[in-house]
Amino acid sequence: MALRTLDTLGSLAGKRVIVRADLNVPLKDAVITDDGRVRATLPTLNALIDQGARVVVCSHLGRPDGAPDDRYSLAPVAERLSELLGSPVAFARDTVGESARETVDGLADGDVAVLENLRFNAGETSKDDAERRAFAQQLAALGDVLVSDGFGVVHRKQASVYELAELLPSAAGLLIATELDVLDRLTENPERPYTVVLGGSKVSDKLGVIEHLLPRVDRLLIGGGMMFTFLKAQGHAVGKSLLEEDQLERVRGYIATAQERGVELVLPVDAEVAASFSADAAHVTADVDGLEDTPAGADGLGLDIGPRTAEQFADVIRSSSTVFWNGPMGVFEFADFAHGTRSVAQALTEVDGLSVVGGGDSAAAVRQLGFTDDQFGHISTGGGASLEFLEGKKLPGLEVLGWSQ
């Protein structure tokens, strides 16, 4: 079966359309620090507004543990959405209660409302199928149709993602359709050379991706905290850098598989080694065969790829026709250890082909470092969902919309 899209729903004029978005944005003192996910919903919302639908937006934010918590209110998101749409957006102070019902009943054609955080209700993420379905039924009472557009949650079997899509006529929004088109291009006949850049803290977070992509890519670049497990597997001493001892044998297997398949596995040749994990830590650049030969000695921590590695990675990326990047190269939140991530991001903007930033920390990093979304071919809104797709896993939030890999 093919993915059901907006045009399969017929006319939506006057209908109450629930949009399951992913508005899980970072907040600091109730202020949004990165509104990328809010802006990503606009094409779908504007398409529905133009049809004269009565749009009811719902989302989660953070992990409030099934009960109301002001720290995770979607009120700032509703305010930002109103600014971006250029028209008032109503806000319901609960998800399926009296405020939600009154807010939805008050909508006219083309109006938009945002419900309070779905995860203020334990039924949203419950492991119990009946509890999830009961909550989904309460949500379904607020709408006539569901448009699922929260790509960042399609790998979760949650009430608003899965059961609600079974209870109402449902289809994918424009964002999900775009995400799937890009991911399909990364897995089915990508233009070559095809390079995947992986970073972030742990190898264990990327096991499935590495295994699934090794037979498909031409080059695999490894940075971030996970690089130290690869370096240790090659026999390098890594001090107190992040290390997953239990993954060493598996990583040695990846190194051997890459060699057997002719995949160019590019590992760091140098790193920024700090005396402590802090923004102002004393640090030096060290070759990978001398990571413990620094003033910090065996207590040193590798917090970024080094300048020679950054230059090498950038050269490989720029010479590629397809690039997928997931995971920062270092602790980009600290200015002294953001150079590697900035170099990779800059190189992606110079790719003559498809460049994809794989959501999560990578998306946050490029925006924090001053890059704009339109400098890349695509910035995914779903880090975990993107990775699971690339692992070849079944994603329940897509299967319920008719998608099959």
Count the alpha carbons within 13 Å of 339 in the hemisphere toward its beta carbon.
15
Catalytic one of 36, 52, 208, 384? 384
Is 24 among the annotated ligand-binding positions?
yes
Cα angle 101, 104, 110 (rounded to 5 degrees) comes to 180
Contact 379/36 with Cβ under 8 angstroms?
yes
Q: Is 123 annotated as a binding residue?
A: no
- Please indicate if the annotation marks 387 as binding a ligand: no
Which residues are 91's β-sheet partners?
114
Q: Among residues 173, 225, 340, 360, which one is catalytic?
A: 360
- Does residue 253 have a known ligand-binding role? no
Tell me, yes or no, if 232 is annotated catalytic: no
Does the active-site annotation cover 15?
no
The yes-or-no answer on residue 39 being catalytic is no
Q: Both tokens of residue 90? A: 């109503």
Query: What's the rounded Cα separation, in Å, for the pair 114 and 79?
Result: 10
The 10 Å Cβ neighbour count of residue 403 is 18
Would the annotation count 183 as a binding residue?
A: no
333 among annotated binding-site residues: yes
Length of the chain: 405
Residues pairing with 170 in the sheet: 146
CB 390 within 8 A of CB 185: no
To the question of whether residue 119 is assigned a binding role by annotation, the answer is yes
- Nearest CA among 275, 259, 279 for reference residue 267: 259
Q: Which helix (H) or strand (E) holds 324?
A: strand 322-326
DSSP 5: B
Residue type, 248: L
The answer to whether 374 is annotated as binding is: no
Residue 175, annotated as binding a ligand: no
Residue 50 annotated in ligand binding: no
- Residue 340 among known ligand-binding residues: no
243 appears as a binding residue in the annotation: no
Q: Is 362 annotated as a binding residue?
A: yes
354-357 vs 264-266, strand pairing mode: unpaired
Beta strands in 30-139, from DSSP E residues, in sequence order: 31-32, 54-58, 89-91, 112-114
- Tell me the one-letter amino acid at 70: D
User: Is 236 known to sit in a ligand binding site?
Assistant: no
- Does 378 count as an annotated binding residue? no
Pinpoint the alpha helices (H) of 188-223.
Answer: 207-213
Phi first, then psi, for residue 257 (nearest 5°) are -65, -40
Q: What is the spatial distance between Cα 174 and Cα 178, in angstroms, rounded to a whole number?
A: 6
| CA-wise closest residue to 325 among 351, 357, 364, 371 | 357
Q: Which of 39, 93, 185, 202 is catalytic?
A: 202
Contact indicator for 63, 86 with CB cutoff of 8 Å = no
Contacts of 132 (CB under 8 A, 6+ apart): 123, 124, 126, 157, 158, 159, 162, 163
Out of 4, 37, 80, 132, the active site residue is 37
Asked if 353 is an active-site residue, the reply is no
Integer angstrom CA distances of residue 24 from 35, 94, 312, 328: 9, 17, 35, 20
Mark the binding-site residues, compressed into ranges.
22-24, 37, 60-63, 119, 156, 206, 302, 333, 359-362
Mark the binding-site residues for ATP, compressed into ranges.
206, 302, 333, 359-362
Mark the binding-site residues for (2R)-3-phosphoglycerate, compressed into ranges.
37, 119, 156
Catalogue the active-site residues: 37, 202, 360, 384
Mark the binding-site residues for substrate, compressed into ranges.
22-24, 37, 60-63, 119, 156
